Amino acid sequence: MPLLRSACPLDCPDACSLEVSVEGQQIVRIEGSRLNPLTEGFICAKVRRFGEHVYGPERLRFPSMRAAKKGEARFRRVSWDEALAAVADRMHTVRKTRGAEAILPLSYGGSNGLLSQDTADARLFHRLGASRLARTVCAAPSRAAATGLYGRMPGVALHDYARARLIIVWGTNPSATGIHLLPIIQKAMASGAKLVVVDPRRTPLADRADLHLALRPGTDLPVALSLIRWLFAEGRADLRFLATQATGVEELRRKADPWTFHRAAGIAGIEAAALQTLATLYAETNPAVIRCGWGPERNRNGGSAIAAILALPAVAGKFGVRGGGYTLSNSGAWKLDSLAAAGAAPPTTREINMNLLGEALLGKVEPPVDFLFVYNANPLATLPCQEKVRAGLAREDLFTVVFEQVLTDTARYADVLLPATTFLERTELSRGYGSMVLQETHAVIPPVGEARSNHEVFAELCRRLGLDKPGDPETAAELTDAILRAAPNGSALRADLDRRQLAHPETGYAPVQFMDSFPLTSDRKIHLFPPDLDQEAPGGLYGYQDDPATGEFPLALISPATSKTISSTLGQLRRGQVPLELHPTDAAARGIGDGDAVRVFNSLGEVRCPARCNSGLRPGVVFLPKGIWSHNTLNGATSNALVPDTLTDLGGGACFNDSRVQVERIAERPLTAD
């Protein structure tokens, strides 16, 4: 049976290399390869069953057009020619009558590689003069903070965690996403490393940790500032390093000064002694590494929280040794810019923050959005204020194109539905954002049905609208070359890819921070208090904004990722009802038992689903997973129906963890929970 090489481009830090068994042009098995040393021959259960995504009943195989009311998901099959003619005609009309800004492309490329976003699609929308989308649903506050402080300096390679003597996993759950960090942490612990986990849930890793800080959601900022304060106050800050390598030291120190352990612990709902323990451990242990996840960014203080966490290794002098420093995203290590392949500079048209999509679709912008082109995204499942998004998508006068692999919740509202290839059916170029690999892969099976790749479809739309130009890169090979050519070390990358498909730490892609990798800021220094971030944050950088909980809605709803979906990708494979998890004391106070149907609600909406008691949650916190679809609850709403469209202090990010709710039992009946 042929064993073909591929790589996983889904929204996960690990970027696994894959071995795909194919028989009669059908995928039979997907397994991890040993080519990428981080993959080490194993992959997650999600991608092992990716064949069900490729061939499942929800797979879109042919272009189609709406044949019923929006949302009913009844379509009639049409040819590609008919579908693309309808799309191009409508784009042309909207551009002529309302202006091209009435066209909004909506994408988020977490589950596709570099060829499938910001290449031919950008060429089309840029030349058209369409509205621009601020892709802020994830990582925008973190990116703003990391760019401001370090210019997105590459972080500690995940392999190098084996060298650390202290590992702090802050706001991420590698048991669900990025599973390849687990054996490395285990190896480090087996040789005596200490583990600290900061998470409101007792995750599997928290269970094994030497110290677990179960913070109240949204309080990472005061906690990080209290550690910084202690380092300065106790003479444990590395003042010599700061004097030569950092700016903004005094400003940071002043901002941290009011945050005693006692005050921060009170707000975070933990013991002050736990902060003392962590601070001492951090000051005294080398190498020490912080794995900073994306959980701390998803609240009103998110950007400042990430900035304060990333400031810790600078203040404590943790750089300059293998296994010491921090990791956030390593995607910047490659300095690749797929926009280089677009062949069109971004226009100066208005920008719409995707976290405010509901508002935009409901007419809060001028000109109104009349044409929505959704690709690489499922906004109805993933964006805040779900009921506003749903109402917007239901607008009869909105023309919506959805270019997708499967019939998502959003696709049900399409006027034109275009079938997209998966990464196993096309050439793709993927880079990891945890693992520092770059991989070029080719189709292992032919496209399912009539599915087409993104660049084929967007290039064809460019032609139909007369926006193509001689020399535009069109094929996958041309796009790959254009992306690599624009990189500083493009020809070396090309040669490396041709020879090996990927690069790995032993070839030099595991830089040690402040030994062979330095801040990419203008003066190559750490900016601990960038003035632009201070101006952007409503309360100033590192300024704490209070918890939005009220007496009416006293519970904090969090919606972290699980091992079942990758953001909302593969959500169609999670068939059953998904429970809301709550602490037994919160359940008992409301007369709720395991399996009872409950209503979780606030002023934005409600979700009806089964309940499950979980003593691993801190009391006052309830949990409904990220990425579930409408079929996973009793009323078709998911956690995002309860998430406000307020924005983070930096980067315009989503405040998923600022959802405050109440829960009540609606029926005592055993429900089958997934």
Q: Which whole-number Å values give the CA distances from 65 to 37, 273, 406, 647, in the listed order?
A: 45, 62, 15, 35
Please pick, from the candidates 115, 149, 310, 566, the single residue that binds ligand SF4 as defined by CB under 6 A.
566
If the CB atoms of residues 7 and 270 are measured against ligand SF4, the closer one turns out to be 7
Please pick, from the candidates 6, 12, 122, 525, the single residue that binds ligand SF4 as defined by CB under 6 A.
12
Q: Characterise 182 by phi-psi region: left (phi > 0), alpha (psi -120 to 50), beta (else).
A: alpha
Q: Which helix (H) or strand (E) holds 581?
A: strand 580-582
**Which x/- pattern, by CB under 6 A, does the window 510-529 give for ligand SF4?**
--------------------
From the list 226, 219, 218, the residue with the least C-alpha distance to 261 is 226
How would you classify the pairing of strands 351-353 and 132-134?
parallel
> Judged by CB under 6 A, does residue 162 bind ligand SF4?
no
> Judged by CB under 6 A, does residue 163 bind ligand SF4?
no
Kindly state the smallest distance separating residue 12's Cβ from ligand SF4, in Å: 3
> Judged by CB under 6 A, does residue 14 bind ligand SF4?
yes
**Which x/- pattern, by CB under 6 A, does the window 315-344 give for ligand SF4?**
------------------------------
> Judged by CB under 6 A, does residue 267 bind ligand SF4?
no
> Judged by CB under 6 A, does residue 20 bind ligand SF4?
no
From the list 584, 673, 592, 586, the residue with the least C-alpha distance to 625 is 673
> Judged by CB under 6 A, does residue 15 bind ligand SF4?
yes
Residue 39 · residue 434 · CB < 8 Å: no
Residues 6+ apart with CB under 8 A from 296: 170, 171, 220, 221, 302, 305, 306, 309
If the CB atoms of residues 39 and 633 are measured against ligand SF4, the closer one turns out to be 39
If the CB atoms of residues 15 and 617 are measured against ligand SF4, the closer one turns out to be 15
Residue 211 · residue 274 · CB < 8 Å: yes
Residues 6+ apart with CB under 8 A from 547: 216, 218, 219, 267, 556
Dist. CA 20–CA 443, nearest whole Å? 11
Kindly state the smallest distance separating residue 502's Cβ from ligand SF4, in Å: 13
Kindly state the smallest distance separating residue 180's Cβ from ligand SF4, in Å: 6
SS3 content of the chain, % helix, strand, coil (to 5): 35, 20, 45
User: Which window, 14-22, 107-115, 556-564, 665-673, contacts ligand SF4 (CB under 6 A)?
Assistant: 14-22
> Judged by CB under 6 A, does residue 360 bind ligand SF4?
no
> Judged by CB under 6 A, does residue 561 bind ligand SF4?
no
CA angle 241, 246, 251 (to 5 degrees): 115
If the CB atoms of residues 566 and 600 are measured against ligand SF4, the closer one turns out to be 566
Residue 422 · residue 445 · CB < 8 Å: no
How would you classify the pairing of strands 166-170 and 246-247?
unpaired
Kindly state the smallest distance separating residue 521's Cβ from ligand SF4, in Å: 30
Please pick, from the candidates 20, 43, 416, 624, the single residue that binds ligand SF4 as defined by CB under 6 A.
43
Kindly state the smallest distance separating residue 519's Cβ from ligand SF4, in Å: 28
Kindly state the smallest distance separating residue 624's Cβ from ligand SF4, in Å: 21
Kindly state the smallest distance separating residue 76's Cβ from ligand SF4, in Å: 35
User: Which window, 7-15, 251-259, 358-366, 455-463, contacts ligand SF4 (CB under 6 A)?
Assistant: 7-15
Kindly state the smallest distance separating residue 39's Cβ from ligand SF4, in Å: 7
If the CB atoms of residues 209 and 570 are measured against ligand SF4, the closer one turns out to be 570
For residues 172-201, which are near ligand SF4 according to CB under 6 A? 179
**Residue 133, beta-bridge partner list:** 352
55 phi, psi to nearest 5 deg: -110, 0
Dist. CA 573–CA 147, nearest whole Å? 37
**Which x/- pattern, by CB under 6 A, does the window 608-647 give for ligand SF4?**
----------------------------------------
Kindly state the smallest distance separating residue 418's Cβ from ligand SF4, in Å: 25
For residues 44-103, which are near ligand SF4 according to CB under 6 A? 44, 46-47
User: Which window, 42-50, 95-103, 217-225, 472-480, contacts ligand SF4 (CB under 6 A)?
Assistant: 42-50
Kindly state the smallest distance separating residue 17's Cβ from ligand SF4, in Å: 9
Residues 6+ apart with CB under 8 A from 47: 8, 10, 16, 18, 30
Task: Report the interhelical angle of 454-464 vs 80-98 (nearest 10°).
Answer: 60
If the CB atoms of residues 44 and 54 are measured against ligand SF4, the closer one turns out to be 44
Q: For every residue of 291-325, which 3-state class applies, written as one string?
A: EECCHHHCCCCHHHHHHHHHHHHHHHCCCCCCCCE
DSSP assignment of 240-251 equals HHHHHHEE-HHH
Residue whose token pair is 């030497």: 210
> Judged by CB under 6 A, does residue 8 bind ligand SF4?
yes
Residue 99 · residue 128 · CB < 8 Å: no
If the CB atoms of residues 148 and 432 are measured against ligand SF4, the closer one turns out to be 432
Kindly state the smallest distance separating residue 436's Cβ from ligand SF4, in Å: 13
CB neighbour class for 360 (10 Å; exposed up to 12, middle 13-18, buried from 19): buried
Q: Characterise 309 by phi-psi region: left (phi > 0), alpha (psi -120 to 50), beta (else).
A: alpha
Kindly state the smallest distance separating residue 108's Cβ from ligand SF4, in Å: 16
User: Which window, 43-51, 117-125, 151-159, 604-612, contacts ligand SF4 (CB under 6 A)?
Assistant: 43-51
User: Which window, 4-12, 138-146, 576-584, 650-658, contacts ligand SF4 (CB under 6 A)?
Assistant: 4-12
> Judged by CB under 6 A, does residue 10 bind ligand SF4?
yes
- Total binding residues toward ligand SF4, as defined by CB under 6 A: 12
User: Which window, 9-17, 224-232, 265-273, 581-589, contacts ligand SF4 (CB under 6 A)?
Assistant: 9-17
Kindly state the smallest distance separating residue 18's Cβ from ligand SF4, in Å: 7
From the list 389, 400, 408, the residue with the least C-alpha distance to 654 is 389
User: Which window, 38-46, 290-298, 358-366, 651-659, contacts ligand SF4 (CB under 6 A)?
Assistant: 38-46
CA–centroid distance for 640 within its chain? 15
Dist. CA 612–CA 441, nearest whole Å? 42
Kindly state the smallest distance separating residue 113's Cβ from ligand SF4, in Å: 12
Kindly state the smallest distance separating residue 47's Cβ from ligand SF4, in Å: 4
Q: What residues make contact with ligand SF4 under the rule CB under 6 A?
A: 8, 10, 12, 14-16, 43-44, 46-47, 179, 566
